[in-house]
C-alpha cells in the first residue's frame, strides 16, 4: 500500500467496489431489454471506475484500465449497437443494443475519468 | 404514509426550482456548480418518489454521483474568478424563457393525459438499417474528438 493512500478509504473502496459492480450487472441483466438499462448499467459501472480512480489515483486507474482497452470497449459497444439496430428481426437484437450501450458507456466513462483525473494534478500551485 | 410522498415530491420540486434560480444568479463557478448539483439531486429524488422506474435510477446515478465529480473537475480546471457585482435587475429574460419552456411542456401534457394510449405501430421498413451508419460515424467522431482533445493525459508516461 502506498503512503499517499488513505487506509480507510482503500478498505471501503475494496469492500464497496464488488457490490457496486454487482448492482450494475443486476441492472443490466434484471431489466427488460429495450428500456435503456444498458446506459443506466454503464453509469453504475462507471461509478466503480470513479471510486477506483478517486481512491488509488489516475495513474493506477490508467494502469488498471488502459486507454487502448477503453477505446476498444467503446468501439465494440458502438459496433454492437449498430449491429443490433441493423438486425431488427433478430431475436436478441434488443439485448445486443443494451449490451452495446453498456460497453460504450463504460468505455466512455473510463476515458473521461482518466482524462479529467489525469489533468487535474498538472495545475500549477500558483493558480490556487 | 404513501399519501405523503407526492407532497414531499412537490416540496423537493420547490427546492429544485429555488436552487436552479440560485445557479443562474450565482457570481462564482463554485456556487453555481453546487446549486446545479443540489438541483439535480432534488429532481432525482422527486422522480424516485413518484416511482419513475429506470428513468429515476438513471437520473439519480447521474445527478447524485456523476454530476458532482464532473462539476468539481470543471471547477478545478477553471480559473478562479468571480463575476463583478452588478446593479440588481429583475431577470425578465430568464423568467420569460422559463415560462416559454413550461408552456411548451405543459400544453402537450394536457392532450397526453386525456387521450387513450396508442398502440405501437410497425416501424418504417429498413429505418434501423439506415440509422446504423450515421450512428457509427457519430460514435467514432466522438471517440476521435475525445482522444484528440486530451491526448497528453492518456499517454503511458505522465
Q: How many CB pairs under 8 A join A and B?
A: 99
| Residue range B107-118, pLDDT digits in tens | 888 877 777 776
With 0-12 CB in 10 A as exposed, 13-18 as middle and 19+ as buried, what is A120?
Answer: middle
Show residues of chain B in contact with A81, CB under 8 Å: 132, 135, 139
The predicted complex's ipTM stands at 0.71
- B149 to chain A: closest CA residue: A115
pLDDT higher for A36 or B125?
Answer: A36
**Residue B33 neighbours by CB distance under 10 Å:** 20
Q: Smallest Cβ distance to B154: which of A86, A88, A114?
A: A114
pLDDT at B87: 61
Nearest CA distance, A22 vs chain B (angstrom): 15
Which residue's C-alpha cell is 499517499? A4
Which of A42, A58, A57 minimizes the C-alpha distance to A101? A42
* CB–CB contact A117 B73 (8 Å): yes
Chain B CB within 8 Å of residue A4 CB: no
Q: B125 falls in which pLDDT band (50, 70, 90)?
A: low
Assign 3-class secondary structure to chain A. Answer: CCCCCCHHHHHHHHHHHHHHHHHHHHHHHHCCCCCCHHHHHHHHHHHHHHHHHHHHCHHHHHHHCCHHHHHHHHHHHHHHHHHHHHCCCCCCHHHHHHHHHHHHHHHHHHHHHHHHHHHHHHCCHHHC
Percent of chain B with pLDDT over 70: 68
Q: What residues in B contact A62, CB-CB < 8 Å? A: 154, 156
Chain B contact present for A43, CB below 8 A = yes
Residue-wise pLDDT for B6-41, tens only, equals 889 999 999 998 998 888 888 888 888 889 889 989
Q: Which of A86-90, B10-14, B64-68, B138-142 has the highest mean pLDDT?
A: B10-14
Binned at pLDDT 50, 70 and 90, residue B124 comes out as low
The mean predicted confidence, pLDDT, of chain B is 77
Give pLDDT, residue B11.
92
Give A112's contacts in chain B (Cβ within 8 Å).
70, 146
φ, ψ of residue B28 to 5 degrees: the values are: -120, 155
Q: CA angle B40-B42-B43, nearest 5°? A: 65
What mean pLDDT is predicted for residues B107-136? 70
- pLDDT score recorded for residue B33: 85
Give the pLDDT means over successive 10-residue stretches in chain A (128 positions).
73 89 89 83 91 85 88 90 83 89 90 77 46
- Do B66 and A50 make contact, defined as CB atoms within 8 angstroms? yes
Q: Out of B55-59, B94-98, B128-132, pick the least confident.
A: B128-132
Cell numbers for A108, please give them.
466512455
Instruction: With beta carbons under 8 A apart, name residues in chain B contacting A75.
Output: 140, 143
- State mean pLDDT over B123-128: 61
Q: Do A115 and B150 touch (CB under 8 A)?
A: yes
Tens-digit pLDDT profile for residues A105-114? 999 888 888 8
Q: Is A80 on the interface with B (CB under 8 A)?
A: no
Question: How close B85 gets to chain A, by Cα (Å)?
Answer: 22
Domain coordinates in residue numbering, chain A? 7-122
Amino acid at each position: 500500500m502506498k503512503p499517499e493512500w488513505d487506509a480507510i478509504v482503500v478498505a471501503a473502496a475494496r469492500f464497496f467496489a464488488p457490490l457496486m459492480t454487482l448492482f450494475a450487472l443486476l441492472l443490466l441483466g434484471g431489466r427488460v431489454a429495450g428500456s435503456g438499462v444498458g446506459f443506466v448499467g454503464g453509469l453504475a459501472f462507471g461509478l466503480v471506475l470513479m471510486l477506483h480512480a478517486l481512491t488509488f489515483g489516475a495513474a493506477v486507474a490508467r494502469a488498471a484500465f488502459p486507454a487502448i482497452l477503453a477505446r476498444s470497449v467503446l468501439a465494440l459497444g458502438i459496433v454492437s449497437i449498430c449491429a443490433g439496430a441493423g438486425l431488427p428481426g433478430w431475436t436478441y437484437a434488443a439485448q445486443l443494443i443494451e449490451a452495446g450501450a453498456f460497453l460504450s458507456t463504460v468505455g466512455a466513462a473510463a476515458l473521461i475519468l482518466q482524462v479529467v483525473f489525469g489533468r487535474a494534478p498538472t495545475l500549477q500551485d500558483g493558480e490556487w | 404514509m404513501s399519501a405523503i410522498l407526492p407532497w414531499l415530491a412537490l416540496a423537493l420540486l420547490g427546492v429544485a426550482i429555488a436552487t436552479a434560480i440560485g445557479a443562474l444568479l450565482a457570481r462564482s463557478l463554485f456556487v453555481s456548480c453546487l446549486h446545479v448539483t443540489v438541483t439535480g439531486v432534488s429532481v432525482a429524488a422527486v422522480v424516485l418518489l413518484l416511482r419513475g422506474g429506470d428513468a429515476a435510477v438513471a437520473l439519480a446515478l447521474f445527478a447524485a454521483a456523476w454530476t458532482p465529480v464532473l462539476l468539481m473537475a470543471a471547477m478545478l480546471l477553471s480559473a478562479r474568478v468571480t463575476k463583478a457585482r452588478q446593479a440588481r435587475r429583475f431577470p425578465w429574460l430568464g423568467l420569460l424563457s422559463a415560462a416559454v419552456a413550461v408552456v411548451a411542456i405543459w400544453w402537450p401534457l394536457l392532450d397526453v393525459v386525456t387521450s387513450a394510449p396508442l398502440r405501437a405501430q410497425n416501424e418504417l421498413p429498413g429505418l434501423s438499417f439506415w440509422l446504423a451508419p450515421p450512428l457509427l460515424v457519430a460514435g467514432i467522431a466522438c471517440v476521435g474528438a475525445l482522444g484528440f482533445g486530451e491526448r497528453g493525459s492518456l499517454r503511458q508516461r505522465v
